[in-house]
Structure 1
């Protein structure tokens, strides 16, 4: 850790802390912040920046302790109250967080900036309707502020108002033509046509100077999407390849780390682990839908959650958060795997159910649709012995191409390079084979292509495997009014379609190097 040499004035110390946090020197920022609050215990801004330092370090309990000091000094501080609600979200205390946000919403009437912050916090709670309401008011109060229109558009997507979302992205682009993400997000909302698209507009921007490093990435992905929609496959793939290569160059990622972690998980959670593991937390409730992104997880989530006894909680990271809170391990991913094997399964199950209990409405089953939970299948099976585990499978090249052409806001760094994609997918398949061997009968495998080919038969099979009676509403999943904030949010508002099956064959020549790496025969 850097030595703590504090400037003379509180304001100078604030600047020093801010610079450290912006530079990613979190531990140093925390040390200077704690020294500041020791020397100036009645300094409101000192406690707030201390809370921010703990927030960036993922220490949300200590974040709340700092905010309690801030609120003791100034109980009405809007910033301290909002940050406290954000800390509650991260700690899984969602009902308390939502109550605090609703109270603040009434006080924020007329303040577009605060309503925008509240919309973001509501979104973190999974309260997308509340988020859309706040964002709509913020945009109405400040219609020429592009960020409010952008935030409104993203929340409208989550609640299924796609036409309105497209209009808002148009408004963003009119006011901030260099907001490059808006072009990509707009492109994903509908199938573009020869008569109605933005190809020329996007190409002009690509030729112009860019104001951000990610600008060319978003624009090339937007161009690729729209060109594919209008049937220009060759130009679409060229734009996609350019965007993916640019994105990969901007990242520091080594797929061998993820491959090694998956191998360590398999060797740690072997048959002997399950022979010795104590009983976890019993009870129906959790349905985990997992697999690779773009494998059909959102589709099956919407089908199941159209049932009257099922609610979808969306893409949660609550299992991972419950795990890391109990482990508190050093040594990165490897240390976490080792520490996880030493947990009492019932403790992990109880911690997870406590977190998600803040989100559920009391129906018999709830869905946790985090694709990467396939890493935790062993722990899920031990900690929650009655949980249903639904694993989505898709033809490897279709899945790989769908991953490759998606620009993710965060996560999935392996998806921008053929070598990374193939290595990750092979490691994932190996881990899934391991889970099936050591947990026979626990995993419900569902093939995307089977669902598309015979939706009713596969829906009935899935409902029976989960323990549910058939309901016809599950066949009309696209009418499911529940929110969804995933990359597939637009697609699942449509009836089932088969156009994505075998789509990679349109680009067989361009994708052949990837097929070779995956061992897919011509």
Structure 2
């Protein structure tokens, strides 16, 4: 029936199509039927009716790009230009291949005198129009979530034209959507061999490198793009993001402001205000961060990231008006699952600060359920991967390579001592880093991805040689491990500037302590942990933009905690002389004693400034950035008990 209705609309038989739609039962009014009903009513000059159908559709699927496109058309007919612009912007956000939406958006921009934005919109429309049909259809399928069909269309085309740059770019975007970032990087680099200055491929590559946390390379590409087209807002925003990633904060702030000044006072500015707010939060300028987050939701009430960003300031108290706005938005607006999740986390935090722990717990449960439902996560598999590290790095590997006993190394990097702070997130690692970074000899950095990248590369090389990882590692010499250590020091130099001691606080590096000591025998390792119930609850309360997939279920958290604890025990049996375990509870109740132990491990003198850490001016990029800018407090000890009556699974967690 729906195919027949669609055919009638295409041939202009709108009345007949509408008549058939009215014969459908309520149970048959799915997404496609609602969309066709909206199209019919637009043609019948009943825009208000069309918009009602579209509202129903977007409640079923808040990512339906063509529904937003239809909204835009109807708002234009009703001469509601601002609403049309917002709807069309959402349409091309969810599906950039909608050429008609780009064209209409260009018209709206021109009416508003935004000629630069109109030019960009027309350029996008022209780009997608000129693509081969298979590739254009592939993009459409990709953006609609049918990745398998997109890949089929793309590979069919590539079988006929294997060197087609646009097909290679699409295949890279498909790989990116599947989080196969290494494959996406390879495909884009191959495409750029054909056209080294292709702006679209360069832009995609910058984003892939950002996902792979290769920020310096992404920054260089973004610079090249801006040189090619200095007024392209996407390129400017990309460069701003990469500048912030490599701590070029003044440049990033200037670029964000430049983008904002080029955009109309509309919802399109909201993501830029969020990025600028994150920058100010990193720098400890909390009031500026707060203003930008508030501006974002004022521009777009449905922009859930703004509410979560405010909540993630940890001490921000939502006003009653803000709280009601959040509740109304969650209940009444068509939101994506991600937006519902972010809003629920924000509401949970808001009610927690109001000491309404029962309602807070309900929102935490909703938020975590929504987040977990989006993930393809196997907790048991992740736990097994931690256990596998014992087989990957048997004690014999350390005896044969004797990396720990090497006293003299010729390289200059051997004189540099990395300090790895490891453990679960939300366990006090940022506090510990801030304390150590307040020492005159120690450079604080950030959560560096380099160790995980090297570990992934070793796994990939083992697969390429059709070997199991333990067998592959067993044939590597001490010299080869040393070369990996040299590489790590060189790659991270932008952060530590060859200081004698620097901190790498990537929590999940606990998985790779064996590799770290084989590569960097001089490395010192500090494992910081909280009691298990506080640790699980702290992670359960946090939305992580990337990784930490165990955190969205309390039992998953407990399973992961036990596996982490067991693995650390194994590493300790091998590298105990360079591994110090710190209990968060001891750090906050006996800070001077604990800090002295750390100084002994590092063989540096204790300095009083270390306990005045909150006065140290430095960038902090983790969720705890605000908390480490105040003196040590003990209010978070046993904080799980606040939720124990409302989250009974907390009580079931065993030490």
* Residue in structure 2 matched with residue 3 of structure 1 by the alignment: none
Residues 136 and 32 (structure 1), Cα distance of their counterparts in 2 relative to 1, 3 Å cut: farther
- Aligned residue among 508, 525, 529 for 1:393: 529
Deviations 1:235-276 (A, max 9, x none): 212221222233223333221101111111123323222222
* Residue in structure 2 matched with residue 116 of structure 1 by the alignment: 237
Contact 2:278 2:289 in 1 (8 A): yes
State the Cα distance separating 1:500 from its structure 2 match: 0.7
Structure 1 distance, partners of 2:545, 2:601, is 34
State the Cα distance separating 1:82 from its structure 2 match: 4.2
Residue correspondences, number: 502
- Aligned-partner SS, 1:518: coil
Q: Highest Rg: 1 or 2? A: 2
Residues 384 and 136 (structure 1), Cα distance of their counterparts in 2 relative to 1, 3 Å cut: same
Residues 360 and 16 (structure 1), Cα distance of their counterparts in 2 relative to 1, 3 Å cut: farther
Deviations 1:82-114 (A, max 9, x none): 455556767887656545545655676554333
Matching of residue 64 in structure 1 with residue 185 in structure 2: no
State the Cα distance separating 1:300 from its structure 2 match: 1.0
Superposed counterparts of 1:307-456, under 5 Å: 307-328=439-460, 329-330=462-463, 339-340=472-473, 342-344=475-477, 345-456=481-592
* Residue in structure 2 matched with residue 241 of structure 1 by the alignment: 365
Contact 1:188 1:490 in 2 (8 A): no
State the Cα distance separating 1:292 from its structure 2 match: 0.4
- Aligned residue among 349, 352, 357 for 1:228: 352
State the Cα distance separating 1:405 from its structure 2 match: 0.9
- Aligned residue among 483, 489, 494 for 2:625: 489
- Aligned-partner SS, 1:469: coil
Contact 2:347 2:360 in 1 (8 A): yes
Contact 1:218 1:243 in 2 (8 A): yes
State the Cα distance separating 1:157 from its structure 2 match: 2.0
Stretches of structure 1 that go unaligned for 5 or more consecutive residues are 1-8
Contact 1:33 1:50 in 2 (8 A): no
Structure 2 distance, partners of 1:86, 1:192, is 31
Deviations 1:203-252 (A, max 9, x none): 22232243201232222211111111122222212221222233223333
Structure 2 distance, partners of 1:290, 1:188, is 22
Q: TM-score, normalised by structure 1?
A: 0.85
Contact 1:198 1:226 in 2 (8 A): no
Stretches of structure 2 that go unaligned for 5 or more consecutive residues are 1-129
Structure 2 distance, partners of 1:196, 1:419, is 34
* Residue in structure 1 matched with residue 424 of structure 2 by the alignment: 292
Matching of residue 182 in structure 1 with residue 306 in structure 2: yes
Structure 1 distance, partners of 2:554, 2:648, is 10
Matching of residue 467 in structure 1 with residue 603 in structure 2: yes
Q: Whose RCO is larger (CA < 8 A, sep 6+)? A: 1
* Residue in structure 2 matched with residue 4 of structure 1 by the alignment: none
Deviations 1:65-94 (A, max 9, x none): 4224322xxx4x544444555567678876
Structure 2 distance, partners of 1:214, 1:487, is 19
